[in-house]
């Protein structure tokens, strides 16, 4: 083993070979004898009631076991699901098959269970359903007059409502030397992870269940199932070792989990329910949002007035909120501010967190308005941001635990070649292509939640570490193994990290870019406790060479505890284990240091730089070059972290230029529920992309000094693209995605 720590090394994913060879098993791939298949029937109307549902023909088909509807479903505990789900917003959560009421288009209204998937799907087409329809509203723009403040609830702890106004915004704005304003809109977006949502529930007898679920939180699914079905939590085991992408769609338990468990308990047989691609559009989305900004500055570029308002969609039964308007004053200090956020309840399913929820929405409006202000002032966009640079989060009056955004601007601009930009719009071209440069700032809050981890040193001297956390493709397995290995000074080959199982120590849902800081800190705490145990036992050995030595005076390396002052003085793990006559174990909890942390704002920052080419005749936009400079504390694994940023950048391109779910408001229905018509970038759309990690030390945020990178990669990209398009064409397009027809 090298003397160099494993933390900070670009180690390839430990499970990568299993995934690319198809060996890794996902939730819909666990086969057991007697497995039954469920197929979901979804509502074809948007609002009303089921007046009749005839299942006779379907149930008469050989091999069809049952058709579950609201009329024959088993009675349930129906514990308030808001408290059964770590990610539930305020309101009354949707209950599948609860009543005849239809709340949204695509609502699950029946489950056909059969011996094969194909038979279940065919039988579903034989179920006859009649409805009584009611008037509905699904158009945000047509219902602005219904906008209201969100209900307060537990969710506001993680998603704070806008800060109170400061100063006199209207006067300050009217008196400003330069003003920039805009109305911004983006429509509905859906997550579309590669792996379909699937649950395989195995009935073990006596009310015990083993569940293979596509989820971003095994314990969240366990709590949900236990509460809804009135089961003891210890009788419900949820396993999710591999998750084929989540992006937020698996934070809440989705309805296929409910239906699979319900059928398995009632039939006392294993049941798998897998949703088809079009059904992935029936349980959550990034909500369409209308934003308005007004920024004012003095002649030197100092911002004096900030107004940012947003109106977003929610369902009729829950108040889903996002942090959209809070970011501007976190980035840019102003003495006069007015931030507003409202919701419009519509006849849709509740929106759902989607990579950088609120942040990627708000940044479009904030950073495009800043770009507009830079042109009004004739100041370089980077210079304007530096003029308004803040070491303190003025929105709450707290310093940042660390902030190297200035270096993101400097290093990013240097590597990108920002100085080659002619600031005049439509001044740069290559042949018939207009060339534009754009940049934007990114910010994402860095959080830490409570978590537990277990560490065991086996009698063979191997380290086993475990946590219930999932790995949704972010490299969690690899990173946690690195952290654990460093704690005991062992090579990677001697460390096994087990995860994705609700029977393991507690971990919250994987999301919000807090997993490394949360679970990594728990592993570090468990490793620290195990080191203490081992050191104490080493000193207890008769004639121990480490007698009279303190823990701070030794290092753990390659299975030995070694004196720093005299490396000849050492005790091996094997000697300790022999004396102990077996494995040594510890389970520890990591809690955020709330009192210390509340004195600081904690965030990762980025600067995104983009070059676009716009075909002057056709209006087609190509992102030819992009670079993101990121300050995110201690980077545990630069290789997996870089992949996270690149993934966010790809999604930023998608958000700005491709991605939208089209609604027919007369039908109240999404019309492009497939990957053929829901446009996302393909390889041919992606060109030169680069990532810089700016050195940032943070001794406050957590013991690892780490900040998450899952979301910060997407936040700055969409506005940087919009700003580059303005520079190329002189057209300020404030609606995402930006279609070629608006540039013709």
Q: Do 314 and 287 contact (CB within 8 A), yes or no?
A: yes
- Domain spanning 15-20+449-591 has what CATH number? 3.30.365.10
Q: From 215, 217, 162, 186, select the one nearest 341 (Cα to Cα).
A: 162
CA separation for the pair 218, 499 (Å, rounded):
10
Task: Answer whether the bond into residue 737 is a cis peptide, omega within 30°.
Answer: yes
CA separation for the pair 641, 734 (Å, rounded):
30
**pLDDT band at residue 82 under the 50/70/90 scheme:** low
What is residue 79's predicted lDDT score, i.e. its pLDDT?
Answer: 58
Structure tokens at 450: 């409570």
Res. 83: pLDDT tops 70: no
**Cβ burial 479-514 (10 Å sphere, 16+ → b, else e):** bbbbbbbbbbbbebebbbbebbbbebbbbbbbbbbb
Structure tokens at 185: 């809109």
Exposure of 566 in the CB half-sphere (CA atoms within 13 A): 8
**pLDDT band at residue 158 under the 50/70/90 scheme:** confident
Lowest mean pLDDT among 35-49, 147-161, 417-431, 484-498: 147-161
What is residue 427's predicted lDDT score, i.e. its pLDDT?
Answer: 98
Q: From 472, 492, 559, select the one nearest 480 (Cα to Cα).
A: 492
Res. 4: pLDDT tops 90: no
pLDDT digits (tens, 9 = 90+) for 250-290: 999 999 999 999 999 999 999 999 999 999 999 999 999 99
What is residue 1's predicted lDDT score, i.e. its pLDDT?
Answer: 42
Q: Give the torsion sign (CA, 652, 639, 382, 395).
A: positive
Above pLDDT 70, what percent of the chain? 98
- For the chain, the structural domain boundaries read 15-20+449-591, 36-135+194-245+250-281, 144-189+285-447+598-743
Residues listed for the chain: 744
Chain mean pLDDT for the chain: 96
Res. 219: pLDDT tops 70: yes
Largest CA distance in the chain: 86
- Domain spanning 36-135+194-245+250-281 has what CATH number? 3.90.1170.50
What is residue 695's predicted lDDT score, i.e. its pLDDT?
Answer: 98
CA separation for the pair 358, 124 (Å, rounded):
38
CA distances from 449 to 355, 421, 506 (A): 18, 43, 11
Beta strands in 298-355 (DSSP E): 303-315, 336-346
Above pLDDT 90, what percent of the chain? 95
pLDDT digits (tens, 9 = 90+) for 57-77: 999 999 999 999 999 999 887
CA separation for the pair 441, 719 (Å, rounded):
9
Classify residue 192 as left (phi > 0), alpha (psi -120 to 50) or beta: left
Q: From 516, 523, 520, 518, select the one nearest 488 (Cα to Cα).
A: 523
pLDDT digits (tens, 9 = 90+) for 558-617: 999 999 999 999 999 999 999 998 999 999 999 998 778 999 999 999 999 999 999 999
CA separation for the pair 279, 196 (Å, rounded):
9
Question: Which positions are annotated as active-site residues?
Answer: 711
What is residue 595's predicted lDDT score, i.e. its pLDDT?
Answer: 79
pLDDT digits (tens, 9 = 90+) for 507-560: 999 999 999 999 999 999 999 999 999 999 999 999 999 999 999 999 999 999
Exposure of 710 in the CB half-sphere (CA atoms within 13 A): 26
Give the three-class secondary structure for 208: strand
What is residue 25's predicted lDDT score, i.e. its pLDDT?
Answer: 97
CA separation for the pair 624, 564 (Å, rounded):
53
Mean pLDDT of 142-146: 98
**Topology of domain 144-189+285-447+598-743, per CATH?**
Aldehyde Oxidoreductase; domain 4 (3.30.365)
What is residue 576's predicted lDDT score, i.e. its pLDDT?
Answer: 96
What is residue 152's predicted lDDT score, i.e. its pLDDT?
Answer: 78
CA separation for the pair 483, 637 (Å, rounded):
10
The secondary structure of 166-187, three-state, reads ECCHHHHHHCCCEEEEEEEEEC
**pLDDT band at residue 197 under the 50/70/90 scheme:** very high
- Note whether 15-20+449-591 and 144-189+285-447+598-743 share their fold: yes
Q: Do 307 and 376 contact (CB within 8 A), yes or no?
A: no
What is residue 156's predicted lDDT score, i.e. its pLDDT?
Answer: 59
Specify the pTM.
Answer: 0.97
CA distances from 700 to 6, 399, 448, 703 (A): 22, 11, 12, 8
Mean pLDDT of 50-63: 98
What is residue 157's predicted lDDT score, i.e. its pLDDT?
Answer: 64
What is residue 351's predicted lDDT score, i.e. its pLDDT?
Answer: 98
Crossing angle of helices 255-267 and 218-229, in 10° steps, is: 50
Q: Do 643 and 475 contact (CB within 8 A), yes or no?
A: yes
Mean pLDDT of 675-684: 95
């Amino acid at each position: 083993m090298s003397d160099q720590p494993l933390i900070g090394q670009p180690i390839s994913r430990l499970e990568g070979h299993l995934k690319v060879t198809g060996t890794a098993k996902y939730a819909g791939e666990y086969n057991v004898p007697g497995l039954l298949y469920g197929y979901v029937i979804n509502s074809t109307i948007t609002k009303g009631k089921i007046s009749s549902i005839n299942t006779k023909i379907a149930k008469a088909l050989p091999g069809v076991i049952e058709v579950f509807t609201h009329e024959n479903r088993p009675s349930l505990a129906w514990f308030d699901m808001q408290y059964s789900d770590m990610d539930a917003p305020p309101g009354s959560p949707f209950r599948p098959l609860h009543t005849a009421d239809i709340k949204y288009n695509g609502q699950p209204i029946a489950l056909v269970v059969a011996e094969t998937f194909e038979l279940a799907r065919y039988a579903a087409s034989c179920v006859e359903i009649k409805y009584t329809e009611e008037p509905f509203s699904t158009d945000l723009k047509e219902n602005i007059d219904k906008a209201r403040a969100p209900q307060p609830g537990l969710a506001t702890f993680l998603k704070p409502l806008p800060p109170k106004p400061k100063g006199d915004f209207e006067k300050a704005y009217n008196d400003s030397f330069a003003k920039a304003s805009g109305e911004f809109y983006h429509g509905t977006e859906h997550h579309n992870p590669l792996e379909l949502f699937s649950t395989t529930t195995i009935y073990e007898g006596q009310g015990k269940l083993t569940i293979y679920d596509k989820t971003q939180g095994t314990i969240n699914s366990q709590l949900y199932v236990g509460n809804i079905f009135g089961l003891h939590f210890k009788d419900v085991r949820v396993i999710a070792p591999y998750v084929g992408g989540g992006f937020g769609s698996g934070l809440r338990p989705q309805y296929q989990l409910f239906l699979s468990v319900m059928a398995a308990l009632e039939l006392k047989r294993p049941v798998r329910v897998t949703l088809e691609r079009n059904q992935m559009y029936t349980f959550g989305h990034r909500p369409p949002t209308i934003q308005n900004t007004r920024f004012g500055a003095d002649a030197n570029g100092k911002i004096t007035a900030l107004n940012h308002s947003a109106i977003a969609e929610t369902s009729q039964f829950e108040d889903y909120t996002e942090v959209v308007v809070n970011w501007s004053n976190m980035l840019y200090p102003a003495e006069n501010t007015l931030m507003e956020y409202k919701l419009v309840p519509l006849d849709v399913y509740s929106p759902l967190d989607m990579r950088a929820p609120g942040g990627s929405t708000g940044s479009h409006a904030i950073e495009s308005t800043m770009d507009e202000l830079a042109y009004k002032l004739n100041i370089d966009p980077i210079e304007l941001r530096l003029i308004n640079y803040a070491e303190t989060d003025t929105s709450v009056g707290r310093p940042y635990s660390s902030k190297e955004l200035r270096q993101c601007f400097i290093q990013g601009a240097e590597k990108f070649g920002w100085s080659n930009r002619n600031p005049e719009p439509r001044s740069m071209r290559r042949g018939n292509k207009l060339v534009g440069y754009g940049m934007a700032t990114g910010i994402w809050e860095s959080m830490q939640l409570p978590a537990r981890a277990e560490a065991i040193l086996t009698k063979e001297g191997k380290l086993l570490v475990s946590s219930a956390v999932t790995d949704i493709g972010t490299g969690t397995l690899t990173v946690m193994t690195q952290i654990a290995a460093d704690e005991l000074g062992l090579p990677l080959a001697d460390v096994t990290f087990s995860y994705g199982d609700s029977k393991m120590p507690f971990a919250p849902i994987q999301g919000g870019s807090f997993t490394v800081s949360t679970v990594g800190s728990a592993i570090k705490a468990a490793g620290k406790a195990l080191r203490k145990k081992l050191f104490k036992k080493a000193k207890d050995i008769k004639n121990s060479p480490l007698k009279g030595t303190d823990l701070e005076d030794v290092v753990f390396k390659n299975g030995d505890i070694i004196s720093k002052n005299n490396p000849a003085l050492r005790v091996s793990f094997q000697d300790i284990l022999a004396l102990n006559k077996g494995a040594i174990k510890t389970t520890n909890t990591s809690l955020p240091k709330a009192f210390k942390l509340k004195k600081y704002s904690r965030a990762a920052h980025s600067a995104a730089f983009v070059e676009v080419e716009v075909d002057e005749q056709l209006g087609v936009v190509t992102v030819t070059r992009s670079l993101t400079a990121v300050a995110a504390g201690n980077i545990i694994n630069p290789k997996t972290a870089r992949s996270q940023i690149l993934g966010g950048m790809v999604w930023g391109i998608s958000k700005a230029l491709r991605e939208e779910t089209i609604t027919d408001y007369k039908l109240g229905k999404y019309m492009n529920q497939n990957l053929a018509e829901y446009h996302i970038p393909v390889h041919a759309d992606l060109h030169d992309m680069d990532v810089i990690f700016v050195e940032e030390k943070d001794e406050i945020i957590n013991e690892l000094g780490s900040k998450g990178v899952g979301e910060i990669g997407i936040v700055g990209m969409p506005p940087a693209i919009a700003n580059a398009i303005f520079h190329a064409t002189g057209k300020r397009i404030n609606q995402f995605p930006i279609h070629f027809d608006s540039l013709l």
